[in-house]
Amino acid sequence: MVNVILLGPPGAGKGTQAKRLVDERGMVQLSTGDMLREARTSGTAMGRRVAEVMDRGELVTDDIVIGLIAEKLAQGAKGGFIFDGFPRTLPQADALGDLLEKMDQGLDAVIEMQVDDAALVARVSGRYTCGQCGEVYHDQTRPTKVDGVCDACGSHDLRRRADDNADALRTRLMEYYKKTSPLIGYYYAKGQLAPVDGLAEIDAVGAAIAKILDKS
C-alpha cells in the first residue's frame, strides 16, 4: 500500500494521472477540488461561500479542506490514497502529516508534476470533464470520440469548470506560486520529492509515476 501526493499547478495533469492510479492500482483518489465542487451544490451557506472563492480562483480556508480530508481518511483505503490538489499550503501539509501519523501511516512519495505556464493556459482553457465518471477531455488534444458523449461511461453529462477561464486561471496560478510551491522545498527537505516531466505524453507520465511508486 502506498500513499502519494500529486503536486503541481492547475492543468499539470494531476486529475488525469490520479484516475489512472485508481484504475490500475485500486488506490483511492482524494481530490479536495472534487469534494468542494460537490459541497457547493449542497445549497448550504458554506457551499455558497466556497463557490464564490473557487470561482475567483482563490484557495478556500485550510480548516475546510483539512476537515474534508480527515473525514475521508477515516474511511481507509486498501490500495492507498492519492492526494490530488491537497495539500496546497504549508499548514495543510503539516495537518496531513499529523493525520497520517495518527493512523500509523506516512507518505511514500510526493510527485511534482512539472509543466510550464504557457502549456497550462492551453490545457486548462480547452478542458472539459464527465460529470458522472470524472474522465478528463480536451478540445484539441483529447476530444470525445462521439461529440457530447463520454468515451468511458457513455454519459452525456460533459461539463466545463467555471474557474477554467483566463481571469480565474491567472489567480489560480498566482495562488499556486505563492502558497503551494513552497511545498516543493518542504517535501524535498524530507527526501520525499520526485519530479516528473508533466509535458510528456499521458502514458509516459503514467509510466514515470509507476516507476517511482514501485520503488517506494
User: Catalytic residue numbers?
Assistant: 14, 88, 127, 161, 172
- Its sign, for the CA torsion 51, 163, 139, 18, is negative
Nearer to ligand AMP, 172 or 196 (CB): 172
Q: Write out the DSSP string of 179-209.
A: IITHHHHHHHHTT-EEEEETTS-HHHHHHHH
Cell numbers 468515451 correspond to what residue?
Answer: 151
Q: Restricting to residues 73-102, which ones interact with ligand AMP according to CB under 6 A? A: 85-88, 92
Report whether 183 contacts 90 (CB < 8 A).
Answer: yes
Which residue's C-beta sits nearest to ligand AMP? 33
128 is a site residue for ligand AMP (CB under 6 A): no
Binding-site member from 30, 60, 113, 205 for ligand AMP (CB under 6 A): 60
Q: Restricting to residues 133-152, which ones interact with ligand AMP according to CB under 6 A? A: none
Nearer to ligand AMP, 65 or 150 (CB): 65
Angle at 48 between CA 182 and CA 38, to 5 degrees: 70
Kindly compute the dihedral angle of the four CA atoms of residues 124, 125, 126, 128, in this order, to the nearest 10 degrees: 60
Nearest distance in Å: CB 72, ligand AMP: 13
Enumerate binding residues for ligand AMP (CB under 6 A).
Answer: 10, 32-33, 36, 53-54, 57-60, 65, 85-88, 92, 163, 172
